[in-house]
Amino acid sequence: MSFDKARLVGELKGLAGPEGVAVAPDGRVIVTNTRGGTLSVFHDGKLERSIGSPGAGDGEFASPHDVEAASDGSNHVVDSANNRVQVFDAALKHRASFGPALGLSGPKYLAFDGEWIWLADEYNHRILLLDRRYQLLGVLGTGKRGRGANAFYKPEAVLARAPYVWVIDTYNDRIVLLKVEYAFGAASRGSLPGSGRRRRFRRSIALGINQVAGIAAACTVVVGAYTSAGKSFAGLSDFLHALSPTVFIQSI
């Protein structure tokens, strides 16, 4: 694939340390300004308005990083230095905040996976799984600095496409790909990511995590061959065969 014909079609200006960007269902582009403590809203490439100001109140920000637009029109802003996530409606009016009850410390980026939310809690060295009521369902990571299938060092971001979860394990210089399997008991109802069926599960969910890949950031990945820590694997089956067994975590 050649990019010699790529051409600039737009540029958003007037920003102050942009970190996160989201495209709302109506086409507006929302950008976080980490240095400015605001959100910038663009429409057709032009600044429509700014949202918020530096501070710790509702609709105020301290080093906001990620912003994600949900399918229902709501917008979630990871208000990093305030150790919380703020939720805004489609009109960008503040509707809720969560974080203190979770003990967040420097959260950075989040990802939607169906009805569930994954959140990178950087300074706690963990990844949280939440439902759409922002209740904690499960935790990846021990809460302490480490390196392994279930140990991270200041992970900044996460991407989820059930049953896979990619963890950007920033200070370990790697990206970890996990296959997450959910074991359900019988109690309240909830939705399994990636599935249209409703299943019963306990308030405490046991997460079975199979490590699929722990790829150093400096390695190269090509079709049919993976290179990790200087070792080459001829195919995906050989690569998976060399990985660690399942790790089980009990959520809070």
Query: Considering the domain boundaries, does residue 104 fall inside one?
Result: no
Q: How many domains does the chain have?
A: 1
Query: Considering the domain boundaries, does residue 110 fall inside one?
Result: no
Query: Considering the domain boundaries, does residue 175 fall inside one?
Result: no
Domain containing residue 23: 12-98
Q: Residue 89 belongs to a domain with what CATH number? A: 2.40.10.500
pLDDT at 40: 98
Q: How far apart are CA 136 and CA 53, in angstroms?
A: 29
What band does 2 get if pLDDT is binned at 50, 70 and 90? Answer: low
CB 190 within 8 A of CB 201: yes
CB 182 within 8 A of CB 241: no
Q: What is the pLDDT of residues 195-247, one digit of tens each?
A: 443 333 333 334 444 444 443 322 222 222 223 343 443 444 443 444 433 33
CB 162 within 8 A of CB 103: no
Query: Considering the domain boundaries, does residue 25 fall inside one?
Result: yes
Query: Considering the domain boundaries, does residue 48 fall inside one?
Result: yes
pLDDT at 140: 93
Is the pLDDT assigned to residue 76 strictly greater than 90?
A: yes
pLDDT at 206: 41
pLDDT at 222: 22
What band does 182 get if pLDDT is binned at 50, 70 and 90? Answer: low
Query: Considering the domain boundaries, does residue 44 fall inside one?
Result: yes
The structure tokens listed for 232 are 């080459």
Q: How far apart are CA 55 and CA 147, in angstroms?
A: 35
Q: How far apart are CA 180 and CA 212, in angstroms?
A: 10
13: which residues sit within 8 A by CB, 6+ positions away?
Answer: none
Tell me the mean pLDDT in the region 112-137: 95
Query: Considering the domain boundaries, does residue 233 fall inside one?
Result: no
Q: How far apart are CA 145 and CA 124, in angstroms?
A: 8
Query: Considering the domain boundaries, does residue 81 fall inside one?
Result: yes
